[in-house]
Structure 1
Protein backbone atom coordinates (compact mmCIF):
# COMPACT_ATOMS: atom_id res chain seq x y z
CA UNK A 1 0.00 0.00 0.00
CA UNK A 2 1.29 3.45 -0.92
CA UNK A 3 2.65 5.58 1.91
CA UNK A 4 0.88 8.62 0.47
CA UNK A 5 -2.88 9.00 0.68
CA UNK A 6 -4.85 11.66 -1.17
CA UNK A 7 -8.42 12.21 0.04
CA UNK A 8 -10.63 14.02 -2.45
CA UNK A 9 -12.38 13.89 -5.80
CA UNK A 10 -10.62 14.25 -9.18
CA UNK A 11 -13.34 16.71 -10.23
CA UNK A 12 -12.15 19.17 -7.58
CA UNK A 13 -9.71 21.67 -9.05
CA UNK A 14 -7.62 21.59 -5.86
CA UNK A 15 -7.53 17.78 -5.76
CA UNK A 16 -6.64 17.64 -9.46
CA UNK A 17 -3.64 19.90 -8.80
CA UNK A 18 -2.26 17.43 -6.27
CA UNK A 19 -2.97 14.38 -8.42
CA UNK A 20 -1.22 15.94 -11.43
CA UNK A 21 1.84 16.66 -9.30
CA UNK A 22 2.05 13.09 -8.02
CA UNK A 23 1.77 11.76 -11.57
CA UNK A 24 4.45 14.18 -12.82
CA UNK A 25 6.77 13.04 -10.01
CA UNK A 26 5.96 9.37 -10.67
CA UNK A 27 5.17 8.82 -7.00
CA UNK A 28 2.88 6.01 -5.92
CA UNK A 29 -0.15 7.00 -3.88
CA UNK A 30 -3.48 5.71 -2.64
CA UNK A 31 -6.50 7.73 -3.71
CA UNK A 32 -9.29 7.83 -1.13
CA UNK A 33 -12.55 9.08 -2.74
CA UNK A 34 -14.52 11.61 -0.70
CA UNK A 35 -18.24 11.69 -1.43
CA UNK A 36 -18.92 15.41 -1.09
CA UNK A 37 -22.59 15.04 -2.00
CA UNK A 38 -22.96 12.80 1.05
CA UNK A 39 -21.07 15.34 3.17
CA UNK A 40 -18.09 13.09 3.90
CA UNK A 41 -15.78 16.13 3.81
CA UNK A 42 -17.60 17.53 6.87
CA UNK A 43 -17.28 14.39 8.98
CA UNK A 44 -14.90 14.21 11.93
CA UNK A 45 -12.65 11.62 10.28
CA UNK A 46 -11.95 13.98 7.38
CA UNK A 47 -11.81 17.13 9.50
CA UNK A 48 -8.88 15.57 11.37
CA UNK A 49 -6.93 15.93 8.10
CA UNK A 50 -8.41 19.17 6.77
CA UNK A 51 -10.12 21.17 9.53
CA UNK A 52 -11.76 23.45 6.94
CA UNK A 53 -13.71 20.53 5.52
CA UNK A 54 -12.47 21.03 1.97
CA UNK A 55 -10.71 18.63 -0.38
CA UNK A 56 -8.03 17.56 -0.73
CA UNK A 57 -6.60 16.04 2.39
CA UNK A 58 -3.09 14.59 2.19
CA UNK A 59 -1.26 12.08 4.36
CA UNK A 60 2.32 10.90 4.14
CA UNK A 61 3.04 8.73 7.13
CA UNK A 62 2.42 10.92 10.17
CA UNK A 63 2.41 14.13 8.09
CA UNK A 64 -1.00 15.58 7.33
CA UNK A 65 -1.38 18.49 4.90
CA UNK A 66 -4.17 20.47 3.28
CA UNK A 67 -4.24 23.38 0.79
CA UNK A 68 -3.33 22.09 -2.66
CA UNK A 69 -0.42 24.42 -3.41
CA UNK A 70 1.28 23.60 -0.11
CA UNK A 71 0.90 19.91 -0.94
CA UNK A 72 2.30 20.25 -4.46
CA UNK A 73 5.34 22.14 -3.13
CA UNK A 74 5.96 19.42 -0.57
CA UNK A 75 5.73 16.63 -3.16
CA UNK A 76 7.95 18.50 -5.64
CA UNK A 77 10.66 19.03 -3.03
CA UNK A 78 10.34 15.72 -1.16
CA UNK A 79 10.71 13.80 -4.42
CA UNK A 80 13.09 16.20 -6.15
CA UNK A 81 15.06 13.36 -7.76
CA UNK A 82 12.01 11.59 -9.21
CA UNK A 83 10.01 12.31 -12.36
CA UNK A 84 9.67 15.84 -13.72
CA UNK A 85 11.74 18.60 -12.13
CA UNK A 86 8.95 20.97 -11.07
CA UNK A 87 11.05 23.56 -9.23
CA UNK A 88 13.70 24.50 -11.84
CA UNK A 89 17.22 25.51 -11.02
CA UNK A 90 19.07 28.05 -8.91
CA UNK A 91 17.80 30.55 -6.35
CA UNK A 92 17.08 33.27 -8.93
CA UNK A 93 15.03 30.88 -11.06
CA UNK A 94 13.21 29.68 -7.96
CA UNK A 95 12.44 33.30 -7.11
CA UNK A 96 10.87 33.83 -10.54
CA UNK A 97 8.88 30.63 -10.15
CA UNK A 98 7.74 31.82 -6.73
CA UNK A 99 6.66 35.12 -8.23
CA UNK A 100 4.50 33.49 -10.90
CA UNK A 101 3.07 31.04 -8.40
CA UNK A 102 1.83 34.06 -6.47
CA UNK A 103 0.38 35.50 -9.68
CA UNK A 104 -1.53 32.27 -10.29
CA UNK A 105 -2.85 32.16 -6.74
CA UNK A 106 -3.81 35.82 -6.41
CA UNK A 107 -4.53 37.04 -9.95
CA UNK A 108 -5.49 34.05 -12.10
CA UNK A 109 -7.23 31.68 -9.69
CA UNK A 110 -9.78 34.08 -8.11
CA UNK A 111 -11.26 35.13 -11.46
CA UNK A 112 -11.04 31.73 -13.16
CA UNK A 113 -12.59 29.99 -10.15
CA UNK A 114 -15.59 32.32 -10.35
CA UNK A 115 -15.87 31.77 -14.11
CA UNK A 116 -15.54 28.00 -13.68
CA UNK A 117 -18.34 28.05 -11.12
CA UNK A 118 -20.64 30.14 -13.28
CA UNK A 119 -19.96 28.58 -16.69
CA UNK A 120 -18.93 24.98 -15.97
CA UNK A 121 -20.28 23.92 -12.58
CA UNK A 122 -23.64 25.68 -12.36
CA UNK A 123 -24.89 24.29 -15.71
CA UNK A 124 -24.09 20.75 -14.48
CA UNK A 125 -26.55 21.22 -11.65
CA UNK A 126 -29.19 23.06 -13.64
CA UNK A 127 -28.42 26.36 -11.91
CA UNK A 128 -28.69 29.72 -13.64
CA UNK A 129 -25.47 31.46 -14.66
CA UNK A 130 -25.03 34.98 -13.29
CA UNK A 131 -24.16 36.92 -16.44
CA UNK A 132 -23.03 39.99 -14.49
CA UNK A 133 -20.46 37.91 -12.60
CA UNK A 134 -19.26 36.38 -15.87
CA UNK A 135 -18.91 39.77 -17.55
CA UNK A 136 -17.01 41.27 -14.61
CA UNK A 137 -14.56 38.37 -14.31
CA UNK A 138 -14.12 37.94 -18.05
CA UNK A 139 -12.79 41.49 -18.18
CA UNK A 140 -10.46 40.79 -15.25
CA UNK A 141 -9.19 37.58 -16.84
CA UNK A 142 -8.48 39.38 -20.11
CA UNK A 143 -6.12 41.74 -18.27
CA UNK A 144 -4.35 38.82 -16.57
CA UNK A 145 -3.96 37.01 -19.88
CA UNK A 146 -2.48 40.12 -21.48
CA UNK A 147 0.29 39.92 -18.88
CA UNK A 148 0.67 36.19 -19.57
CA UNK A 149 0.90 36.80 -23.31
CA UNK A 150 3.77 39.23 -22.75
CA UNK A 151 5.56 36.81 -20.42
CA UNK A 152 5.09 33.81 -22.69
CA UNK A 153 6.46 35.76 -25.66
CA UNK A 154 9.78 35.70 -23.78
CA UNK A 155 9.62 32.33 -22.03
CA UNK A 156 8.18 28.99 -23.18
CA UNK A 157 6.58 28.50 -19.75
CA UNK A 158 5.58 30.97 -17.08
CA UNK A 159 8.26 30.15 -14.51
CA UNK A 160 11.23 29.26 -16.69
CA UNK A 161 12.01 27.46 -19.95
CA UNK A 162 10.70 24.15 -18.61
CA UNK A 163 7.36 22.99 -17.18
CA UNK A 164 7.08 23.63 -13.43
CA UNK A 165 4.53 23.83 -10.64
CA UNK A 166 3.59 27.29 -11.92
CA UNK A 167 2.15 25.87 -15.12
CA UNK A 168 0.70 22.81 -13.43
CA UNK A 169 -1.29 24.91 -10.96
CA UNK A 170 -3.22 26.44 -13.87
CA UNK A 171 -4.38 23.14 -15.35
CA UNK A 172 -7.64 22.43 -13.46
CA UNK A 173 -9.36 25.78 -14.11
CA UNK A 174 -7.99 25.97 -17.67
CA UNK A 175 -9.45 22.53 -18.35
CA UNK A 176 -12.94 23.55 -17.29
CA UNK A 177 -12.85 26.94 -19.02
CA UNK A 178 -11.66 25.56 -22.35
CA UNK A 179 -15.09 23.96 -22.60
CA UNK A 180 -16.87 27.30 -22.20
CA UNK A 181 -17.21 30.61 -24.03
CA UNK A 182 -14.11 31.82 -22.16
CA UNK A 183 -11.98 29.67 -24.49
CA UNK A 184 -11.94 32.64 -26.87
CA UNK A 185 -9.81 34.63 -24.41
CA UNK A 186 -7.11 31.95 -24.46
CA UNK A 187 -7.34 31.28 -28.20
CA UNK A 188 -7.03 34.95 -29.17
CA UNK A 189 -3.57 35.22 -27.58
CA UNK A 190 -1.14 33.09 -29.63
CA UNK A 191 1.50 32.53 -26.95
CA UNK A 192 -1.11 31.75 -24.31
CA UNK A 193 -2.86 29.40 -26.73
CA UNK A 194 0.38 27.53 -27.52
CA UNK A 195 1.20 27.27 -23.81
CA UNK A 196 -2.22 25.82 -23.01
CA UNK A 197 -1.97 23.30 -25.84
CA UNK A 198 1.39 22.23 -24.45
CA UNK A 199 0.51 21.86 -20.76
CA UNK A 200 -2.89 20.22 -21.31
CA UNK A 201 -1.28 17.54 -23.50
CA UNK A 202 1.00 16.28 -20.74
CA UNK A 203 0.62 12.55 -19.94
CA UNK A 204 0.30 13.26 -16.20
CA UNK A 205 -2.70 15.50 -16.81
CA UNK A 206 -4.24 12.86 -19.07
CA UNK A 207 -4.08 10.47 -16.12
CA UNK A 208 -6.05 12.93 -13.97
CA UNK A 209 -8.70 13.23 -16.68
CA UNK A 210 -8.85 9.44 -16.88
CA UNK A 211 -9.57 9.36 -13.15
CA UNK A 212 -12.48 11.74 -13.69
CA UNK A 213 -13.95 9.43 -16.32
CA UNK A 214 -13.72 6.48 -13.93
CA UNK A 215 -15.71 8.23 -11.20
Structure 2
Protein backbone atom coordinates (compact mmCIF):
# COMPACT_ATOMS: atom_id res chain seq x y z
CA UNK A 1 0.00 0.00 0.00
CA UNK A 2 1.63 3.22 -1.16
CA UNK A 3 -0.25 5.79 0.90
CA UNK A 4 0.38 6.21 4.64
CA UNK A 5 -1.05 8.75 7.06
CA UNK A 6 0.68 9.31 10.39
CA UNK A 7 -1.76 11.01 12.71
CA UNK A 8 -3.91 11.15 15.81
CA UNK A 9 -7.53 9.97 15.53
CA UNK A 10 -9.06 13.09 17.14
CA UNK A 11 -6.82 15.64 15.45
CA UNK A 12 -8.78 18.03 13.22
CA UNK A 13 -5.89 18.21 10.74
CA UNK A 14 -5.67 14.42 10.59
CA UNK A 15 -9.43 14.15 10.10
CA UNK A 16 -9.24 16.65 7.25
CA UNK A 17 -6.84 14.37 5.37
CA UNK A 18 -8.82 11.22 6.16
CA UNK A 19 -12.02 12.87 4.90
CA UNK A 20 -10.26 13.72 1.65
CA UNK A 21 -8.98 10.17 1.23
CA UNK A 22 -12.51 8.90 1.82
CA UNK A 23 -13.92 11.30 -0.79
CA UNK A 24 -11.27 10.15 -3.26
CA UNK A 25 -12.00 6.49 -2.43
CA UNK A 26 -8.32 5.80 -1.82
CA UNK A 27 -6.96 3.03 0.37
CA UNK A 28 -4.25 3.92 2.85
CA UNK A 29 -2.48 2.75 5.96
CA UNK A 30 -3.15 4.75 9.09
CA UNK A 31 -0.25 4.91 11.54
CA UNK A 32 -1.39 6.17 14.95
CA UNK A 33 0.93 8.68 16.58
CA UNK A 34 0.80 8.60 20.38
CA UNK A 35 0.64 12.32 21.14
CA UNK A 36 0.30 11.73 24.90
CA UNK A 37 3.73 10.10 24.90
CA UNK A 38 5.08 12.82 22.58
CA UNK A 39 5.86 10.48 19.70
CA UNK A 40 5.42 13.48 17.41
CA UNK A 41 8.46 15.12 19.03
CA UNK A 42 10.81 12.16 18.65
CA UNK A 43 13.62 12.19 16.07
CA UNK A 44 12.05 9.57 13.79
CA UNK A 45 8.86 11.63 13.49
CA UNK A 46 10.70 14.96 13.21
CA UNK A 47 12.54 13.48 10.24
CA UNK A 48 9.15 13.39 8.48
CA UNK A 49 7.84 16.72 9.82
CA UNK A 50 10.37 19.05 11.42
CA UNK A 51 7.55 20.97 13.12
CA UNK A 52 6.50 17.91 15.10
CA UNK A 53 2.82 18.06 14.17
CA UNK A 54 0.31 15.61 12.72
CA UNK A 55 -0.53 14.52 10.15
CA UNK A 56 2.33 13.39 7.98
CA UNK A 57 1.40 11.93 4.60
CA UNK A 58 3.41 9.56 2.42
CA UNK A 59 2.62 8.49 -1.13
CA UNK A 60 5.49 6.38 -2.35
CA UNK A 61 8.60 8.55 -2.21
CA UNK A 62 6.60 11.75 -1.55
CA UNK A 63 6.31 13.03 2.02
CA UNK A 64 4.04 15.95 2.90
CA UNK A 65 2.80 17.73 5.99
CA UNK A 66 0.17 20.47 6.46
CA UNK A 67 -3.31 19.04 5.95
CA UNK A 68 -4.53 21.50 3.31
CA UNK A 69 -1.43 20.92 1.18
CA UNK A 70 -2.10 17.19 1.42
CA UNK A 71 -5.74 17.54 0.33
CA UNK A 72 -4.67 19.74 -2.60
CA UNK A 73 -2.21 17.06 -3.67
CA UNK A 74 -4.79 14.29 -3.43
CA UNK A 75 -7.35 16.25 -5.44
CA UNK A 76 -4.89 16.96 -8.24
CA UNK A 77 -2.87 13.73 -8.21
CA UNK A 78 -5.92 11.45 -8.34
CA UNK A 79 -8.40 13.30 -10.59
CA UNK A 80 -10.14 10.13 -11.75
CA UNK A 81 -10.63 8.63 -8.31
CA UNK A 82 -13.74 9.27 -6.23
CA UNK A 83 -15.16 12.78 -6.22
CA UNK A 84 -13.40 15.66 -7.94
CA UNK A 85 -13.17 18.25 -5.10
CA UNK A 86 -11.67 20.87 -7.42
CA UNK A 87 -12.85 23.22 -10.17
CA UNK A 88 -10.93 23.60 -13.43
CA UNK A 89 -12.53 26.72 -14.89
CA UNK A 90 -10.01 29.51 -14.13
CA UNK A 91 -12.49 32.09 -12.81
CA UNK A 92 -14.41 29.58 -10.72
CA UNK A 93 -11.12 28.12 -9.51
CA UNK A 94 -10.07 31.59 -8.33
CA UNK A 95 -13.32 32.00 -6.40
CA UNK A 96 -12.78 28.60 -4.82
CA UNK A 97 -9.26 29.69 -3.83
CA UNK A 98 -10.70 32.76 -2.09
CA UNK A 99 -12.99 30.65 0.08
CA UNK A 100 -10.21 28.18 0.83
CA UNK A 101 -8.29 31.15 2.24
CA UNK A 102 -11.34 32.26 4.21
CA UNK A 103 -11.53 28.84 5.87
CA UNK A 104 -7.85 28.76 6.80
CA UNK A 105 -7.47 32.41 7.80
CA UNK A 106 -10.84 33.22 9.37
CA UNK A 107 -12.87 30.09 10.20
CA UNK A 108 -10.06 27.87 11.48
CA UNK A 109 -8.61 30.28 14.10
CA UNK A 110 -12.03 31.04 15.57
CA UNK A 111 -13.48 27.54 15.37
CA UNK A 112 -10.37 25.83 16.72
CA UNK A 113 -10.31 28.16 19.72
CA UNK A 114 -13.93 27.27 20.48
CA UNK A 115 -13.23 23.56 20.04
CA UNK A 116 -10.35 23.89 22.50
CA UNK A 117 -12.32 25.79 25.11
CA UNK A 118 -15.58 23.84 24.86
CA UNK A 119 -14.29 20.30 24.31
CA UNK A 120 -10.57 19.63 24.37
CA UNK A 121 -9.62 21.72 27.40
CA UNK A 122 -11.85 19.63 29.64
CA UNK A 123 -11.05 16.36 27.90
CA UNK A 124 -7.27 16.76 27.98
CA UNK A 125 -6.65 18.95 31.00
CA UNK A 126 -9.79 18.59 33.10
CA UNK A 127 -10.24 22.36 33.03
CA UNK A 128 -13.39 24.44 32.58
CA UNK A 129 -13.73 26.74 29.58
CA UNK A 130 -12.82 30.39 29.88
CA UNK A 131 -16.24 31.92 29.26
CA UNK A 132 -14.78 35.29 28.30
CA UNK A 133 -12.76 33.64 25.55
CA UNK A 134 -15.80 31.63 24.45
CA UNK A 135 -17.96 34.77 24.24
CA UNK A 136 -15.29 36.62 22.27
CA UNK A 137 -14.95 33.85 19.68
CA UNK A 138 -18.69 33.20 19.49
CA UNK A 139 -19.08 36.82 18.38
CA UNK A 140 -16.37 36.37 15.77
CA UNK A 141 -18.03 33.19 14.53
CA UNK A 142 -21.43 34.91 14.33
CA UNK A 143 -20.01 37.63 12.12
CA UNK A 144 -18.33 35.08 9.88
CA UNK A 145 -21.47 32.92 9.61
CA UNK A 146 -23.43 35.99 8.51
CA UNK A 147 -21.05 36.20 5.56
CA UNK A 148 -21.44 32.47 4.95
CA UNK A 149 -25.22 32.78 5.03
CA UNK A 150 -25.14 35.36 2.25
CA UNK A 151 -22.70 33.28 0.20
CA UNK A 152 -24.73 30.09 0.65
CA UNK A 153 -27.93 31.89 -0.38
CA UNK A 154 -26.25 32.32 -3.78
CA UNK A 155 -24.86 28.80 -4.26
CA UNK A 156 -25.20 25.41 -2.61
CA UNK A 157 -21.59 25.14 -1.44
CA UNK A 158 -18.97 27.70 -0.49
CA UNK A 159 -16.92 27.14 -3.64
CA UNK A 160 -19.90 27.06 -6.00
CA UNK A 161 -22.52 24.51 -6.94
CA UNK A 162 -20.47 21.41 -6.15
CA UNK A 163 -18.80 20.04 -3.01
CA UNK A 164 -15.12 20.93 -3.09
CA UNK A 165 -12.04 21.13 -0.92
CA UNK A 166 -13.24 24.25 0.85
CA UNK A 167 -16.31 22.48 2.23
CA UNK A 168 -14.22 19.47 3.16
CA UNK A 169 -11.69 21.65 5.00
CA UNK A 170 -14.45 22.89 7.33
CA UNK A 171 -15.57 19.42 8.34
CA UNK A 172 -13.41 18.54 11.38
CA UNK A 173 -13.98 21.75 13.34
CA UNK A 174 -17.60 21.85 12.22
CA UNK A 175 -18.18 18.30 13.42
CA UNK A 176 -16.80 19.14 16.86
CA UNK A 177 -18.77 22.39 17.13
CA UNK A 178 -22.04 20.64 16.32
CA UNK A 179 -21.72 18.88 19.67
CA UNK A 180 -21.51 22.14 21.62
CA UNK A 181 -23.75 25.09 22.41
CA UNK A 182 -22.25 26.85 19.39
CA UNK A 183 -24.49 24.69 17.18
CA UNK A 184 -27.24 27.25 17.73
CA UNK A 185 -25.27 29.79 15.68
CA UNK A 186 -25.37 27.46 12.68
CA UNK A 187 -29.02 26.51 13.25
CA UNK A 188 -30.05 30.18 13.32
CA UNK A 189 -28.97 30.62 9.69
CA UNK A 190 -31.02 28.42 7.34
CA UNK A 191 -28.56 28.26 4.45
CA UNK A 192 -25.61 27.64 6.76
CA UNK A 193 -27.59 25.00 8.63
CA UNK A 194 -28.53 23.18 5.41
CA UNK A 195 -24.93 23.32 4.19
CA UNK A 196 -23.57 22.00 7.49
CA UNK A 197 -26.04 19.10 7.51
CA UNK A 198 -25.28 18.32 3.86
CA UNK A 199 -21.51 18.11 4.15
CA UNK A 200 -21.63 16.10 7.39
CA UNK A 201 -23.98 13.52 5.87
CA UNK A 202 -21.76 12.66 2.90
CA UNK A 203 -20.55 9.03 2.87
CA UNK A 204 -16.94 10.21 2.81
CA UNK A 205 -17.49 12.40 5.84
CA UNK A 206 -19.19 9.64 7.78
CA UNK A 207 -16.43 7.17 6.88
CA UNK A 208 -13.66 9.53 7.98
CA UNK A 209 -15.23 10.18 11.36
CA UNK A 210 -16.10 6.58 12.13
CA UNK A 211 -12.89 4.93 10.91
TM-score by length of 2: 0.98
Q: Which residue matches 1:182? A: 182
Unaligned runs of 5+ in 1: none
1:10 Cα deviation after fit: 2.2
1:123 Cα deviation after fit: 2.1
1:58 Cα deviation after fit: 0.7
1:85 Cα deviation after fit: 0.8
Q: How many residues align?
A: 210
Q: Which residue matches 1:9? A: 8
The two structures, once aligned, show a CA RMSD in angstroms of 0.8
Whether 2:69 is the aligned partner of 1:58: answer no
Q: Which residue matches 1:117? A: 116
**1:169-208 CA distances to partner (integer Å, 9 max, x unpaired)?**
0000000011001001000000000000000001111112
CA contact (8 A) 1:21 1:75 kept: yes
1:116 Cα deviation after fit: 0.4
CA contact (8 A) 1:23 1:204 kept: yes
Whether 2:150 is the aligned partner of 1:147: answer no
Distance (Å, rounded) in 1 between the aligned partners of 2:95 and 2:48: 31
Q: Which residue matches 1:192? A: 192
Distance (Å, rounded) in 1 between the aligned partners of 2:88 and 2:37: 44
Distance (Å, rounded) in 1 between the aligned partners of 2:209 and 2:55: 17
Whether 2:169 is the aligned partner of 1:161: answer no
Unaligned runs of 5+ in 2: none
Distance (Å, rounded) in 1 between the aligned partners of 2:33 and 2:3: 16
Q: Which residue matches 1:128? A: 128
TM-score by length of 1: 0.96
